[in-house]
């Protein structure tokens, strides 16, 4: 590839830019890379001994000396020449030899489709866009129309394979997730869900679904001539929807918030009616869904937190949870006053493709374009419309009515339990961290570790998502951010007797340890996915689950009390999600040049955790870390 193309395409892990369609050579090169993703290496199976050594190191700060001795003994037996670990490793190596990715099928089931808890709060993240200010219905519908137009513009790039190929340094990354987020839906089952990629089928969808007051409508967004509707046409279609749904109806969509087994049974019952079945299939097949909401229900006064909660769970049965279909991969939310964002069903993709989509939409709106890059006249001619919006009807019998009432009760409990604190930290951003020659991500991860230790006076197992997309069909690996070094750093920072020089040294040591683990993780040499593979290999072979997976060391080090992820965006936006465990925190962040956007969460049912307390501890930790760096830097200059 030409050097100029390499420079433009070197986007980093989570960023993408619009390539001018007029640059035919570059677009052709992008298409070639996306078509030939098979050139990517296969996901490796790490050496067993390496994984177990790393594993022991991550367990050590979380258990007592006596417990650690037991864990060491179990690991030694597991990895002995005649041990079960060696047998399972051989099975994994054979699986890797005969599949494109030894983990991908297992992962999608174990991490998503087999999970029977609700997708709301426990699985599906929310992404809050830069907040708007709508004064009229016209403002709301105009913005919603621009979101639709911007997404269709992005879809054109995806369909034409003109989305810039993500890179990690010089390494191209797997792009398959980009082709799975539009036109996709999770289908509930009684014991396991499935997923359908309607956008990849021979007759892909040409419509979107719009929800308003719990009513669902189908809108064809391409005319007879194949052109997408322009913004003016989309506004007209949305206005028609609003005018025909002025009063709330039965919240069928709230069924999608239920436990998956419960929803799976109700789904089978709901589909027995042919009208219901036809409506469900139109929602499932749509390119994406747009939810038009009213004002925030029961606002807290923190507009960022209010928008986040509305994206994650719609503020429950009294709010807009019935105005959703949570099985859809992409579901945009446009509130009456300007709270905008999306919620996405996590099965087909991680955050980066979703954040790239949002960035494209916001760039599209900011530019004032109503046109794809291929048009040059500044305005998109109107498409030849197909029809007015089609109302999707439901026949609701007594059994389904009861299922809806049950779903309301279950969701009310979940909504009451989740609490969030979302905020913009304005003390500094990644520019300051880089000026100290430190990794911004590792720095923020250590701040999160320090905040947890500051509150709980002990370390907590800590999950950070790392992408393994440099491998064919790669998804994620866990960065275990809690380490011997991070604990030493937290203790040093909270020890008033220690000089700043020792605190700074402990910080730099902890950051280097995190960077090393992160580098291993993105190269598929972490701990968690390999251990999962060994466990699943045993189950698939009909063997007993090895003792290693029932040991206190494994249980405590995989009970991730901190669930974190960096999801950068080019705009002032942030992603948010619930904790992984009942006594844990969720913490997602978007580092900007001079600020950091955080979405933090906890559960009210845990007496140990509180997101507002965590915010205060996190801000204090960030400021303390900056202070010791600046003071030590000033001392060095004197």
- Catalytic site positions: 346
If DSSP codes are grouped into helix, strand and coil, which group holds residue 296? coil
If DSSP codes are grouped into helix, strand and coil, which group holds residue 509? helix
Do 431 and 440 touch, CB atoms closer than 8 A?
no
Distance of CA 139 to the CA centre of its chain: 29
Radius of gyration in angstroms for the set of CA atoms belonging to the chain, rounded to a whole number:
25
Spatial distance between the Cα atoms of 210 and 208, rounded to a whole number of angstroms = 7
Do 587 and 563 touch, CB atoms closer than 8 A?
yes
Please identify which residue in the block is written with the tokens 């513009």.
Answer: 153
Spatial distance between the Cα atoms of 123 and 524, rounded to a whole number of angstroms = 23
- 383-417 burial, b at 16+ Cβ within 10 Å, e below that, comes to beeeeebeebebeeeeebeebbebbbebbeebbee
- 212-225 burial, b at 16+ Cβ within 10 Å, e below that, comes to bbbbbbbbbbbbee
Do 238 and 211 touch, CB atoms closer than 8 A?
no
What's 147-187 look like in SS3?
Answer: HHHHHHHHHHHHHCCCCCCCEECCEECCCHHHHCCCCEEEE
Spatial distance between the Cα atoms of 373 and 157, rounded to a whole number of angstroms = 9
C-alpha closest to that of 598 among 344, 309, 305, 359 = 305
C-alpha closest to that of 279 among 394, 142, 154 = 394
| Region at 121 (left for phi over 0; alpha for psi -120 to 50; beta for the rest) | left
DSSP 324-392: --TTBSEEEEE-TTS-EEEEE-STT--HHHHHHHHHHHHHHHHHT--S-TT--SSSPPPP----SPEEE
Residue 634 CB contacts under 8 Å (≥ 6 apart), including other chains:
none
- 103-137 burial, b at 16+ Cβ within 10 Å, e below that, comes to bbebbbebebbebbebbbbbbbbbbbbbbeebeee
* The pair of three-digit structure tokens given for residue 307, joined into one six-digit string: 């928008």
Spatial distance between the Cα atoms of 467 and 523, rounded to a whole number of angstroms = 9
DSSP 414-428: HHHHEEEEEEEE-S-
Distance of CA 372 to the CA centre of its chain: 27
């Amino acid at each position: 590839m030409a050097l100029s193309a390499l420079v433009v395409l070197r986007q980093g892990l989570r960023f993408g830019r619009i390539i001018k369609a007029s640059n035919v050579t570059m677009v052709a090169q992008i298409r070639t890379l996306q078509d030939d993703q098979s050139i990517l290496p296969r996901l490796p199976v790490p050496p067993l001994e390496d994984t177990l050594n790393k594993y022991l190191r991550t367990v050590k700060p979380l258990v007592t000396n006596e417990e650690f001795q037991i864990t060491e003994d179990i690991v030694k037996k597991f990895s002995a020449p005649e041990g079960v670990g060696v047998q399972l490793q051989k099975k994994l190596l054979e699986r890797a030899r005969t599949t494109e990715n030894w983990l991908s099928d297992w992962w999608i089931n174990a991490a998503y489709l087999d999970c029977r808890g609700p997708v709301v709060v426990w699985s599906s993240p929310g992404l809050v866009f830069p907040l708007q200010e709508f004064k009229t219905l016209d403002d709301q519908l105009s913005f919603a129309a621009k979101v639709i137009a911007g997404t269709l513009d992005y879809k054109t790039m995806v369909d034409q394979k003109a989305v810039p190929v993500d890179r990690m340094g010089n390494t191209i990354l797997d792009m398959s997730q980009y082709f799975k987020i539009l036109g996709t839906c999770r289908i509930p089952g009684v014991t396991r869900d499935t997923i359908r990629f309607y956008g990849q089928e021979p007759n892909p969808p040409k419509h979107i679904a719009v929800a308003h007051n719990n009513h669902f409508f189908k809108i064809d967004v391409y005319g007879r001539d194949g052109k997408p509707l322009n913004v003016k046409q989309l506004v007209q279609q949305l206005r028609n929807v609003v005018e025909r749904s002025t009063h709330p109806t039965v919240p069928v969509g709230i069924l999608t918030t239920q436990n998956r087994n419960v929803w799976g049974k109700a789904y089978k019952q709901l589909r027995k009616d042919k009208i219901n079945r036809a409506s469900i299939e139109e929602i499932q097949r749509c390119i994406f869904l747009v939810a038009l909401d009213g004002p925030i229900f029961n606002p807290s006064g923190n507009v960022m937190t209010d928008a986040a909660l509305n994206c994650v769970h719609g503020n429950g049965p009294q709010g807009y949870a019935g105005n959703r279909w949570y099985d859809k991969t992409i579901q945009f939310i446009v509130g009456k006053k300007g709270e905008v964002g999306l919620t996405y069903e996590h099965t087909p993709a991680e955050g980066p493709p979703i954040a790239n989509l949002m960035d494209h939409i916001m760039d599209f709106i900011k530019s004032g374009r109503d046109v794809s890059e291929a048009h040059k006249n500044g305005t998109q001619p109107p498409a030849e419309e197909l029809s007015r919006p089609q109302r999707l009807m439901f026949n609701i019998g007594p059994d389904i009515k009861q299922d809806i009432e049950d779903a309301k009760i279950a969701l009310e409990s979940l909504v009451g339990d989740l609490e969030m604190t979302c905020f913009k930290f304005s003390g500094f951003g990644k520019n300051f961290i880089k000026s100290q020659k430190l990794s911004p991500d590792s720095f923020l991860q250590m701040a999160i570790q320090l905040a947890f230790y500051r509150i709980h006076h002990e370390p907590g197992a800590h999950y950070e998502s790392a992408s393994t997309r440099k491998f064919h069909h790669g998804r994620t690996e866990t960065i275990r951010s809690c380490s011997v070094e991070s604990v030493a750093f937290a203790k040093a920072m909270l020890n008033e007797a220690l000089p700043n020089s020792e605190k700074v040294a402990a910080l730099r040591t902890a950051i280097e340890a995190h960077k090393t683990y992160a580098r291993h993780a993105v190269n598929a040499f972490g701990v968690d996915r390999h251990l999962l593979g060994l466990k699943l290999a045993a189950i698939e072979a009909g063997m007993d689950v090895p003792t290693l997976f029932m040991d206190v060391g494994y249980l405590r080090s995989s009970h991730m009390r901190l669930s974190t992820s960096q999801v950068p965006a080019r705009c002032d936006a942030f992603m948010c999600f619930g904790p992984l465990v009942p006594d844990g925190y969720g913490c997602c962040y978007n580092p900007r040049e001079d600020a950091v956007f955080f979405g933090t969460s906890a559960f009210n049912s845990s007496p140990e955790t509180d997101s507002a307390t965590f915010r205060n501890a996190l801000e204090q930790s960030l400021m303390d870390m900056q202070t010791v760096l600046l003071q030590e830097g000033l001392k060095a200059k004197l």
